Amino acid sequence: MLDQRLHGKTSLGVDLAKKINGEIISADSMQIYKYMNIGSAKPTLDEMQGIKHYMIDFVEPNERYSVAAFKKQSTECIKEVLEKGKVPIVVGGTGLYINSLIYGIEYTATEIDEEYRKKLEEIAENEGLDALYSEALRLDPEAMKTISKNDKKRIIRVLEMYKSTGKTKTELDLESRKNGVEFDYRVYITNLDREKLYDKINKRVDMMIAQGLIDEVKFILNKYEEFPTAMQALGYKETKEYLDGNLTKEELIEKIKQETRRYAKRQLTWFRKIKDAIWLDMEKRKCR
């Protein structure tokens, strides 16, 4: 498994797949969505270089998609690759997705209580997201250690899990980890000097804007009436704010850069908790 989302090293997974007869399974929670190409840094056919990729571009932006669904489908993909006599390479930086595989976590596929979710959305709108964050922190301080105060989707999920099951996310995770892991695996995490990483982030955001991120978001907004998860994605929610007239273009660009840097920091904190992970120094690899 490789974490490479923010380093943009699509070539790393492809190069590895060529060398060890592998195929790639994406563990990126935004690359699953159709039409969300620029903001999610979805690999193009040219970048895939003939290597088969799974779990990319198969969910409509107006559909909900859960970690439980990812665990089930990605496990099926892993088995399919193994049956071919090839090596499955899981590539991506969505922590919950990675954890579901390496710890055998069976995330509860609870039915969504639309009324409760609507109530939480109204609280966030009228009282501010801090109100929900404080309640989630009170219920499950351990889970909230890795959740940003600005991450509405995951804050709401913590509250929904407790409402639905009567147990905290932390309790559910501990219970499900007892199931064990089906596959032998190795975890490799790409690492880069923070200053250089932030510089790459800034350049990537500038490139996303130049490639047409704003037009991409316009297209999705025109095509679909609702976006239960997709429009919460980094880069997309800020662009929607811009299109709603709440940000100037300069503010949009700076906000995406700032939020991406924050995401990178949280992502590294998350992956440092993985025991026996092998860290790859990207300074020593000539990447393209």
CA trace torsion 141, 146, 147, 149 (10° rounding):
80
Cβ proximity of 8 and 204 under 8 Å: yes
Mark whether 162 and 238 lie in a shared domain: no
**Residue 260 domain flag:** yes
177/175 Cα distance (integer angstroms): 6
Domain boundary among 146, 176, 206: 176
Letter for the amino acid at 256?
I
Mark whether 256 and 136 lie in a shared domain: no
**Residue 109 domain flag:** no
Cβ proximity of 154 and 133 under 8 Å: no
Mark whether 166 and 212 lie in a shared domain: no
Find the mean pLDDT for residues 251-278. Answer: 91
**CATH number of the domain to which 124 belongs:** 1.10.20.140
- The boundaries of the domain holding residue 144 are 114-176
Mark whether 20 and 77 lie in a shared domain: yes
SS3 per residue for 95-126: HHHHHHHHCCCCCCCCCCCHHHHHHHHHHHHH
Mark whether 208 and 258 lie in a shared domain: yes
**CATH number of the domain to which 254 belongs:** 3.40.50.300
The tally of domains found in the chain comes to 2
22/20 Cα distance (integer angstroms): 6
Mark whether 154 and 234 lie in a shared domain: no
pLDDT tier at 288 (50, 70, 90 boundaries)? Answer: very low
pLDDT (0 to 100) of residue 161: 87
Query: Which tokens go with 229?
Result: 């998860």
Look at residue 280 and give its three-state secondary structure: strand
For the ranges 42-46, 108-112, 262-266, the maximum mean pLDDT occurs at 42-46
Mark whether 216 and 267 lie in a shared domain: yes
- Closest-CA residue to 237 (of 129, 161, 131): 129
Instruction: Decide if pLDDT at 5 tops 70.
Output: no
- Closest-CA residue to 93 (of 187, 210, 203): 187
Domain boundary among 176, 194, 209: 176
pLDDT in tens, 137-194: 999 999 998 888 888 888 998 999 899 888 898 988 787 776 667 888 999 998 888 8
Mark whether 19 and 156 lie in a shared domain: no
* pTM of structure: 0.79
155/124 Cα distance (integer angstroms): 10
Query: Which tokens go with 18?
Result: 């060529």
Instruction: Decide if pLDDT at 54 tops 80.
Output: yes
pLDDT (0 to 100) of residue 126: 92
Domain boundary among 176, 204, 219: 176
Mark whether 209 and 262 lie in a shared domain: yes
pLDDT in tens, 229-258: 888 899 999 999 999 999 999 999 999 999
Count of CB atoms situated within 10 Å of the CB of 162:
19
pLDDT tier at 4 (50, 70, 90 boundaries)? Answer: very low
pLDDT (0 to 100) of residue 53: 97
CA 45 remoteness from chain centre: 21
Mark whether 134 and 95 lie in a shared domain: no
**Residue 37 domain flag:** yes
pLDDT (0 to 100) of residue 213: 98
Longest dimension (CA), the chain: 55
Q: Measured at the alpha carbon of residue 134, what is the angle toward residues 152 and 167, in degrees to the nearest 5?
A: 85
Mark whether 32 and 52 lie in a shared domain: yes
107/172 Cα distance (integer angstroms): 8
Mark whether 212 and 241 lie in a shared domain: yes
Count of CB atoms situated within 10 Å of the CB of 164:
15
pLDDT (0 to 100) of residue 108: 61
% the chain with pLDDT above 90: 59
